[in-house]
Structure 1
Amino acid sequence: MGSVLEDAVTGRPLWGVDLAMLTKPRISGGLLGALHADEREREADADTARRAPLTRIRATALLTRPWWLPVFEGLDPYSDVLKSVTGVVLDPQAVAPFPYDWRLAVAYNGTLLARTARAHLTRWRERVAATPDWAAGGARPRLVFVAHSMGGLVVRAALEQDPELAADTRAVITVGTPFLGSAKSVLALNLLHTGARPKRLVRGVQAMAATLPGVHDLLPGYRCLDRGVDVERLSAADVARFGGDAELAARSLAERTRHRQDGFTLPGHRAIVGEAQPTIQSLAEQHPDLRVAAGRRYAFDVDADGDLVRAPGSDLPARRNASGDGTVHLPSARAGTEAVTYVYGQHGTLMRHDGALRQIRRVIQERPQSPYLGGGDGTGPGLETPELGGTLGQPLILAATGLDTPAGVTLSVHSATTGRPGHPLTLRRDPERTDGTLSARFTADAPDLYRVVLDTGRHTPLTQLVLVTLPDA
C-alpha cells in the first residue's frame, strides 16, 4: 500500500497524499469508495497486464509522507531507502522506483514489473556499453530488486513469469514480505464485526478491502485457524464468513497452494525480517454466528510429514509465539531462505530502519553480510500500539514489551505530519498484564497522525504510527 494512487482521468489524488481522506468524513467516504475494485479490476491477471493494462487508476510514485490504515497500521515513506540505494550506485539512473496499483492482483502487477525491469536493464546496459570507464570493468550489469512487504510477492510473480529476467537478476532483497501471508489481512476484512470506532472509517476500509484482489493475495496460506483440537488452513468460505470475497479468496488460496508445491526460489534472495514485535500469527473464531475473527499471538508448528506438533502428553496442538514485525510473523517473512538478517523493527517502518538500510547497501555493493542485528529467536524489545488507532479525547495505551526494566528507556509521541514535538511519557508496569509489559497512556490534543518512538538506548529506536481521528458524530 506504499504507492500513491490517482484518478487517471481527472488526476485527483486517491491515496497517499492527504490524510484528510482518513480523518475527515466528507472526504474519506468518497475517496475510499473510488478505490473499490470494479469488475475488470477484480478479474485482472497476468494475461490482462500483457494484453490490455487497466487505466482507471494509476500509481504515480512511492509514498513520500507517512500513511496509516486500520489493522495494517503505519507506513513510512520510501524516501530514505531511495536515498540510501542511490548513494551506492554508479549513477542515480541505475535506480528505478516501481510504484504499482496495490489494489490489484499480485500476478497482474508482477507482469508489469517484469516489463518495467527488462526495459530498465536494457537501457542501463546500453549506457554502460557507451561509457568506456564503466564498460572496462567487464561485468555485465544485472538486476537487484529491493522490495518491501507485498512488493516481495510482486517480485516473485515477475521472476516466476519471466525466467530470462530471473537469470538476469543478481539478488532479491525482501523486507518484511509475507510469503506465507499475514493473518492481519483477515482482520482487515473483518472490521465490520469488531465494533471498532470510528465506525465511518472502519466501515469504509472494510468495504474497500472486500473488493480488492491485492488484499486477498495477503491471506495466510499456512495452518492458522485454531479449532481447539486441530488447526486448519483458511477456506474461501471462511474468508467470506469473515467479511471477504469468496471468489477472490479462492483464487488467492489456490495460488498459495501452488507456491507450496512448485518450490520456486528467488535468485540471490536475502530476507530482512523484523522480530520481537507483538504480532497476530493465527486466528480463532469467537462464535460462528457472530462471524468474528479473533487474532492470536501464537503460531503452530508442523513436523517433516506436515502433521501438527502436539503439546507433550496432550492431544492439543502446541502453541508458541513465533514473533514477527507486528504484521508478518517470522516463518512467513523468512520463506525458507537461509540468508536472513533479523532486526528489531515494526513492519511499516522497516524501510527507515538503520540496520535494514545498511544491509541493503551491503548487498548492492556485494560486500559481506552484516551479522544478525536481532537475536533471530523472537526475543527483544517490542512496541505495541492500538492497531485501530484512536479517537480524540480517549487515551491511547502504548506498551513496551520484552524489557526487564524501564530504566534508561524513553517513550515519546510527536506529530508525524508537522514534526511538532511531544513530551516523554512515563513507562510503568502494566497491572493488567502478567508478562512484565511496560505501558503508558497518551491523550492527543488534536486529530493527527502521531509517531510513537521507543528508545532503549541499546538498539535502533522502534517507531510506529498511530492515527487519532474525530469521534463518530
Structure 2
Amino acid sequence: MTQDAVVIVPGIMGSELRDTKTGKILWGLSGTRWLVKAWTRNNGLASLHLTEDELTGTTGRVQATQLLQHSAWTPYLRGHEPYTRLIETITDYVAHPDAICQFAYDWRLPVATNGKLLAQRAREHLTAWRNHEMHNPAVARRGDQRPARLVFIAHSMGGLVTRCALDGTHNDDLAADTRTVITLGTPFYGAVKAAVILNTGHGAPVPLPHHKLKALCQTMPGLHDLLPTYRCLRTSDDVTHLDHSDIKSLGGNPHLAQSSLDFHRTQQDVHLPDHRTLVGTRQSTWQSLTLADGQVTPHWDGARSNTDGSLIRDRSGRILHFPIQGDGTVYRDSAAMGDKISTVPIQHGDLGRADASLDAVVDILLEDIHKGPPLGEPGCGIAVPDVVEAGQTWHAVAERVDSLQGLTCTVTDTEDEDNPQPARMAMRDGHPAAEITLTTPGLYRISLHSRDGYTTSQLVLVAESGLETAEAE
C-alpha cells in the first residue's frame, strides 16, 4: 500500500460535462439510447459547441463534474471506456479513498487552460491528503518514512494536461512534490486522426456522426492541441511538419492551430518526474498523411530518421515508409516519450481499463519497476467498423495473426456487461475474422482473446437502420 496522493487525469471526452444553468448533462449520460440519438440526429450535440465567449476565454457555461462512468463512443476516436475499473483498482492500493483525486475537466478547452486548473487542484489535493488523519499511519507503515508525494496517472490527452501542469509556470514546486507520472497512450507528438476529423467531408459523403464530430471540433481548441507536431506531411520528396496554413487547408481553424503550435513549443523541454510510459501496440494506426486540394489521405506507415536526422531512403533516394503501428489512435512513436516504456497490445480507449494496463499501474504505484511485456509484442490487433446499422452484417478482423488457433471473439452489450456472447471465428481473405450481425441499436464491445492470454477490444456503435450521410463539402 502506498502513502502517496494519486491524481487521475482522463483523456479527451473522458469527463462528464454538465450545463451549469440547466443542470442538463451534455456528455456522459448512462445508457446508450442518448448516445445513439446524440450522434445520429442533427441537433444532438449542439450544446457542446463552443460559444464565442468560450473561444475568447470566458468559461463557466459548462462544468466538468466527474470522470466518465459509462462507455461512450465517438467517430474515428472510437470507444471511450469508463475509468471505473482504474479507480477501483487504485483504491485497493492507497491508504484511503481520499488519497485519490479524480480530475475531471472540460476537454473542449485548450490543454493550457486545463493544465493551469490541474496544477491548482493537484496542490490542493496533496495538501489535503498530508493533513488527512490516515496520512501519518500510512507513512509509518512504509520503509522510507517519507510524507506523501503526487502520482499522476494520465490517459491520452490527460498526459498533455499533466505535462502542462508541471511546466513550472503555474506552481514552480509541483514537480518537486511529484514522485512519478504514468501516461497511458498520450499523444505527445499528436495524432493523424485529429487531422482526419477536421477534414471529414472533403471529397465524399460521410456518415452523419462523422460530420457532426467535425462540426464540433472545428472550433474546439482541445482537438487542435492533438494535431501532429512531428514530420507527418508527405510531399513529393520530403516529409514536413504541418503549419497553420496546412491546417487551414484541411479544414481546421488557423488561429487555434497557431495558438496550439505556439503552446507545444513551450512544452518541449518540460521534464516529467520519473516518467513511466505505457504504449499500445499491434493495432493498425495512421502515422502520416498527404494533403492535396484540401483533402487528407491518411497512411498506415510513416518515414523514419537516421541518427543524423536525415530520412531513411532506398538506394534510389526514395523515402522509405515503415508501418510502426500503435494503439489504433496514437502511433507508437508519438506516445513513446522517455526511457521507461512498456508496450501492451491494446486499443487506445482500453488503455485505462484493460488488465495489462492496470497491472502495470499497480506495479509502479507500489514502486516496483515495471519492465513491461517482452518487445516481441504478444496479442493481436483488431479491426472493426466504428459505426454500423442494426441488422447489417459486418466482420471483426484479427490483425497480426494468421491462425484461428486459440483465438476467440465475444460481443458484449455495454448495458449488459455480465452477458458476453460468443461470435464464430473463421478465416476470411487470409485473416481470422468474426461475422457479426446486431439487430438492436446500442454500444457494443467486440473483444478478441488470443492464446497468449491477452484481450484486445474495441467499441462499435450500432445505429438504427437507414443511417444518414452528410454531403461532401
With the length of structure 2 as denominator, give the TM-score of the two structures. Answer: 0.90
* Structure 2 counterparts to residues 376-415 of structure 1, below 5 A: 376=375, 380-387=379-386, 389-415=387-413
Match of 2:317 among 300, 315, 318: 315
How far apart, in 2, do the equivalents of 1:26 and 1:358 lie? 34
How far apart, in 2, do the equivalents of 1:238 and 1:99 lie? 32
Match of 1:191 in 2: 200
Match of 1:417, as an amino acid?
Answer: E
Match of 1:353 in 2: 354
Q: 2:312 is paired with a residue of what secondary structure?
A: coil
Q: 2:416 is paired with a residue of what secondary structure?
A: coil
User: How big is the shift at 1:421?
Assistant: 4.3
Q: Matched residue pairs, number?
A: 450
The answer as to 2:416 corresponding to 1:418 is yes
Match of 2:177 among 168, 173, 191: 168
The answer as to 2:473 corresponding to 1:472 is no
Farther off after superposition, 248-257 or 102-111? 248-257
How far apart, in 1, do the equivalents of 2:126 and 2:311 lie? 45
The answer as to 2:107 corresponding to 1:107 is no
C-alpha change, 1:182 and 1:301, in structure 2 (3 Å) is same
How far apart, in 1, do the equivalents of 2:148 and 2:447 lie? 40
Match of 1:14 in 2: 26
The answer as to 2:136 corresponding to 1:141 is no
How far apart, in 1, do the equivalents of 2:264 and 2:232 lie? 13
Match of 1:358, as an amino acid?
Answer: D
How far apart, in 1, do the equivalents of 2:437 and 2:415 lie? 17
Listed as ranges, the gaps of 5+ residues in structure 1 are 45-52
With the length of structure 1 as denominator, give the TM-score of the two structures. Answer: 0.90
C-alpha change, 1:229 and 1:365, in structure 2 (3 Å) is same
Listed as ranges, the gaps of 5+ residues in structure 2 are 1-12, 469-473
Match of 1:454 among 424, 448, 456: 448
Match of 1:96 in 2: 101
Match of 2:146, as an amino acid?
Answer: A
User: How big is the shift at 1:121?
Assistant: 0.6
* Structure 2 counterparts to residues 337-352 of structure 1, below 5 A: 337-352=338-353
User: How big is the shift at 1:472?
Assistant: 3.3
Q: 1:89 is paired with a residue of what secondary structure?
A: coil
Match of 1:268 among 253, 274, 279: 274
Q: 2:444 is paired with a residue of what secondary structure?
A: strand
Identity over aligned pairs, percent: 37
How far apart, in 1, do the equivalents of 2:273 and 2:454 lie? 29
C-alpha change, 1:117 and 1:316, in structure 2 (3 Å) is same
Q: Is the 8 A contact 2:393 2:438 kept in 1?
A: yes
How far apart, in 1, do the equivalents of 2:137 and 2:379 lie? 50
User: How big is the shift at 1:359?
Assistant: 1.2
User: How big is the shift at 1:28?
Assistant: 4.6
How far apart, in 1, do the equivalents of 2:379 and 2:413 lie? 26
How far apart, in 2, do the equivalents of 1:29 and 1:208 lie? 12
Q: 2:335 is paired with a residue of what secondary structure?
A: helix
Match of 1:293 among 296, 313, 316: 296
Farther off after superposition, 92-101 or 18-27? 18-27
C-alpha change, 1:392 and 1:228, in structure 2 (3 Å) is farther
Match of 1:303 in 2: 306
Farther off after superposition, 395-404 or 449-458? 395-404
C-alpha change, 1:438 and 1:425, in structure 2 (3 Å) is same
Match of 1:463 in 2: 457
How far apart, in 1, do the equivalents of 2:34 and 2:233 lie? 34
Q: Is the 8 A contact 2:95 2:135 kept in 1?
A: no
User: How big is the shift at 1:366?
Assistant: 1.2
Match of 1:227 in 2: 235
Q: Say which structure is richer in strand.
A: 2
Q: Is the 8 A contact 2:166 2:270 kept in 1?
A: no
C-alpha change, 1:163 and 1:196, in structure 2 (3 Å) is farther
How far apart, in 2, do the equivalents of 1:241 and 1:378 lie? 38
How far apart, in 2, do the equivalents of 1:25 and 1:99 lie? 21
How far apart, in 1, do the equivalents of 2:219 and 2:77 lie? 17
Q: Is the 8 A contact 2:37 2:44 kept in 1?
A: no
Match of 1:50 in 2: none
How far apart, in 2, do the equivalents of 1:461 and 1:9 lie? 42
C-alpha change, 1:443 and 1:103, in structure 2 (3 Å) is same
How far apart, in 1, do the equivalents of 2:141 and 2:428 lie? 63
Q: 2:102 is paired with a residue of what secondary structure?
A: coil
How far apart, in 2, do the equivalents of 1:43 and 1:11 lie? 23
Match of 1:271, as an amino acid?
Answer: T
The answer as to 2:68 corresponding to 1:59 is no
Match of 1:211 in 2: 219
Match of 2:78 in 1: 73
Q: 2:101 is paired with a residue of what secondary structure?
A: coil
How far apart, in 1, do the equivalents of 2:39 and 2:111 lie? 31
Match of 2:160 among 136, 149, 153: 153
Farther off after superposition, 273-282 or 392-401? 392-401
Provide Cα deviations, 1:379-431, integer angstroms capped at 9, x if missing partner: 751111123x1122332232101113112211222212233846433333332
C-alpha change, 1:69 and 1:457, in structure 2 (3 Å) is same
How far apart, in 1, do the equivalents of 2:83 and 2:188 lie? 21
How far apart, in 1, do the equivalents of 2:228 and 2:192 lie? 6
How far apart, in 2, do the equivalents of 1:314 and 1:443 lie? 48
Provide Cα deviations, 1:91-133, integer angstroms capped at 9, x if missing partner: 1111110000000000000000000000011111122698467
User: How big is the shift at 1:37?
Assistant: 1.3
How far apart, in 1, do the equivalents of 2:141 and 2:419 lie? 51
Provide Cα deviations, 1:196-253, integer angstroms capped at 9, x if missing partner: 5432x22221100111000000000011112242111112222222221111111112
Match of 2:372 in 1: 372
Q: 1:127 is paired with a residue of what secondary structure?
A: coil
How far apart, in 2, do the equivalents of 1:142 and 1:133 lie? 12
C-alpha change, 1:438 and 1:173, in structure 2 (3 Å) is same
Match of 1:23 in 2: 36
Match of 1:443 among 437, 448, 465: 437
Match of 1:48 in 2: none
User: How big is the shift at 1:21?
Assistant: 4.1
How far apart, in 2, do the equivalents of 1:42 and 1:306 lie? 38
C-alpha change, 1:203 and 1:109, in structure 2 (3 Å) is same
Q: Is the 8 A contact 1:20 1:28 kept in 2?
A: no
Q: 1:192 is paired with a residue of what secondary structure?
A: coil
Match of 1:306, as an amino acid?
Answer: G
